[in-house]
Structure 1
Amino acid sequence: MQIDRPAIAEFALKSLVAIALIALALLIWHLRDAALLLFAAIVVAVILRGSAEGLQRVLPIGDNLALAVATGLITIVVAGVFILFGQQMAIQFSDLAEALPGAWSNLVDQIGADRVDGMVERFAPQGSTIAGVVQSALSIVTSVATGLVLAVLGGLYLAANPATYRAGALRLLPDDARERTARALDATGQSLRSWLLGQMVLMAVVGVVTAVGLTLIGVPSALALGLIAGLLEFVPLVGPIVAAIPGVLIAMTMGVETAAITAGFYLIIQQAEGNVMEPLIMRKSVSIPPAVTLFSIFLFGGLFGPVGVLLGGPLTVAAFVLVRVLWLNDDMQRSSA
């Protein structure tokens, strides 16, 4: 009986990978806050490094200078948006915060207090109150803002010298696992870069179209609602649905007809985004089935909370590519060609 040594070696390698993934999952669970912060820093580093390499294709400059220029340009663009529209957005967000309670009361009057109370008791945690929900929301916003600052700083360090951190991570692995892991890291980085670039374009397009459309319909605080829609576009599938809720609530205060038009407008945007814009903009990104994306976001949300939902998109992309390369031994470059 002849022993198939390559098959045994392949099976042993897959078994080791499976054991390593389980151990890594347990470690991440115990250190989930730090793991999410590290992943957020990696996302920031991918954005900065991708922007720097894009500049290097146009200008003959070195890595460090390109990274500094890219970081400066991104900072200038963000600051410019706040300088040009910050005051107007602040006013509209203030108006939106004042209008939402009235819009909610209007919804309660139309649907019925008993039905609304039943829905709140079904989906809200037992014993929760409105004040508790608001306090939890403020706590989440504060933690996200703090984490964002730390992620940006960590991303700058990672983007400055990614090869050093990549080589250091590979040295922790056995020699026979380094080649495939290196391919997995490269494929994951490329897929994240393509996904993030496409997602940022989608966020900008959806935000502008939503603000313009709601302005034409006559919905108040259209700029603020457009910004909300653009930011929540970062969360695939779930974000656009959540972004439509405040817009429809505000429109209901103007009448049933305006609310119906607004709901239809949001539906048209979501259909156009899913069937037209996303296939065109994301054609160079990794293709993930919508059901896998949806359940992955629910999974990451259940494991890591609201921040897991926020980072559910890039987490899904990274996990999908790592499984294909490490477990299925799939050549991402060949399959995407």
Structure 2
Amino acid sequence: MQIDREAIADFALKTIVAIGLVSLALLVWKLRDAVLLVFAAVITAVILRAFARALQRVVPMGDGIALSLATVIIAVVVIGAVGLFGQEVSTQISALANMLPGAWDTLVDTVGAERLDQLVDRFMPEGATIASIAQSVISVVVSAASGLALAVLGGIYLALSPDTYRRGALRLLPASAQRRATRAIDQTGDSLRAWLIGQILLMLLVGVVTGVGLSVIGVPSAFALGLIAGLLEFVPLIGPIAAAIPGVLIALTMGIETAALSAGFYLVVQQSEGNILEPLVMRKSVSIPPAITLFAIFLFGALFGPLGVLLGGPLTVAAFVMVRVLWLNDDLSGGRQAKASDPAADGAA
């Protein structure tokens, strides 16, 4: 019997690749917290580089100066916003926290305890309670706050010299794979930058509109509720729904009519955001079907926990682009040539 050496070699190669992918998946699972931290640093670097490029379009300057100036401006804006509105936000959030238990009791009295328990059991994960969900939210906030400093510091280092880390990552790959990997990295960076800029604009718009609208309706702590709506807008699909819950509960303490107006207002804002604002703001970003986004967020939540949900949006964008470029060999750059497309040059760098 003649042995087909090429078939055996091909089978062996596929087996090695499969083992490598499984090993990589297990490594990512074991180091998931570190992986998320690195990804958060990449997001920070993308934002800083985008802002630095915008400054360079206005005033010609070197990359290092532009990046330093961008970092200082962002820090000054954040510190200034905290100084101007921090006390008011803190007061309204404290008032909001004090009102939520009473709002929940009002909802129980209005709907009925038995009917509400059935509704909660239907939509909540098995074994979950309101207290456990609140505890999960608090743990997300604490984890995000503790990792924010590391992500920002790591993002600054990445933004200072992105090509160094990019070339280093490419050199780990065989020469035959470097060209496509270069294209995947470049197009993922472009898509993430466009998505993040658009998402920041949507967060500002939704936060301001929600705060002003609830204030007009007469809902207490409207500024804090607008801030919550703006921040949760970062989580696609799930965030806006979660942001509406405390607003409607607080409005319920003012009466059924106020709660109905608030619920209708949240619905109008969400529909306007999804059907008008998002297509306009995100027209330069990668277009991902809503069903894929929803299931991807649940998947990242199952894999990485609450922080996976928090970073589900950019993770979905990165995974979507990587699959299309690496697996389907699509070109999302509109015909533009990827930077440093010569793998030999990357390998020699």
The verdict on a shared fold, with TM-score over 0.5 as the criterion, is yes
In the alignment, structure 1 residue 240 sits paired with structure 2 residue 240:
yes
Greater shift in the superposed pair: 28-37 or 178-187: 28-37
Equivalent residue runs for 1:212-223 within 5 Å: 212-223=212-223
Match of 1:3 in 2: none
Give, in whole Å, the separation in 2 of the partners of 1:259 and 1:310.
28
Q: Secondary structure at the match of 1:333?
A: coil
* Distance change in 2, residues 1:79/1:245 (3 Å): same
The question of whether the paired residues in 1 share the 8 Å contact of 2:136 and 2:306 is answered with: no
Match of 2:96 in 1: 96
- AA of the residue aligned to 2:298: F
In the alignment, structure 1 residue 200 sits paired with structure 2 residue 211:
no
Match of 1:150 in 2: 150
Unaligned 5+ segments in structure 1 are 1-9
Equivalent residue runs for 1:46-85 within 5 Å: 46-85=46-85
**Residues 71-120 of structure 1, C-alpha deviations (whole Å, 9 max, x = no match):** 01111111111111111111111110010010001111112222333445
Write out the 4+ residue segments of structure 1 that deviate beyond 6 Å after TM superposition: 10-19
Structure 1 residue 200 displacement after superposition: 0.2
The question of whether the paired residues in 2 share the 8 Å contact of 1:184 and 1:322 is answered with: yes
The question of whether the paired residues in 1 share the 8 Å contact of 2:107 and 2:249 is answered with: yes
The question of whether the paired residues in 1 share the 8 Å contact of 2:64 and 2:160 is answered with: yes
- AA of the residue aligned to 1:71: T
- AA of the residue aligned to 1:277: L
Structure 1 residue 137 displacement after superposition: 3.9
- AA of the residue aligned to 2:93: F
Structure 1 residue 63 displacement after superposition: 0.8
The question of whether the paired residues in 2 share the 8 Å contact of 1:14 and 1:327 is answered with: no
Match of 1:332 in 2: 332
Structure 1 residue 326 displacement after superposition: 0.3
* Distance change in 2, residues 1:135/1:320 (3 Å): closer
Match of 1:289 in 2: 289
**What is the alpha-carbon root mean square deviation over aligned residues?**
2.3
The question of whether the paired residues in 1 share the 8 Å contact of 2:211 and 2:227 is answered with: yes
Match of 1:267 in 2: 267
Structure 1 residue 148 displacement after superposition: 1.2
Give, in whole Å, the separation in 2 of the partners of 1:120 and 1:147.
32
Give, in whole Å, the separation in 2 of the partners of 1:17 and 1:322.
18
Percent identity reads 67
Query: What is the TM-score when the length of structure 2 is the normalising length?
Result: 0.88
Query: What is the TM-score when the length of structure 1 is the normalising length?
Result: 0.91
Structure 1 residue 19 displacement after superposition: 6.3
The question of whether the paired residues in 1 share the 8 Å contact of 2:67 and 2:160 is answered with: yes
Unaligned 5+ segments in structure 2 are 1-9, 337-349
Give, in whole Å, the separation in 1 of the partners of 2:265 and 2:289.
25
- AA of the residue aligned to 2:259: A
The question of whether the paired residues in 2 share the 8 Å contact of 1:17 and 1:327 is answered with: no
The question of whether the paired residues in 1 share the 8 Å contact of 2:192 and 2:314 is answered with: yes
* Distance change in 2, residues 1:16/1:135 (3 Å): same
Equivalent residue runs for 1:1-337 within 5 Å: 21-120=21-120, 123=124, 126=127, 134-334=134-334
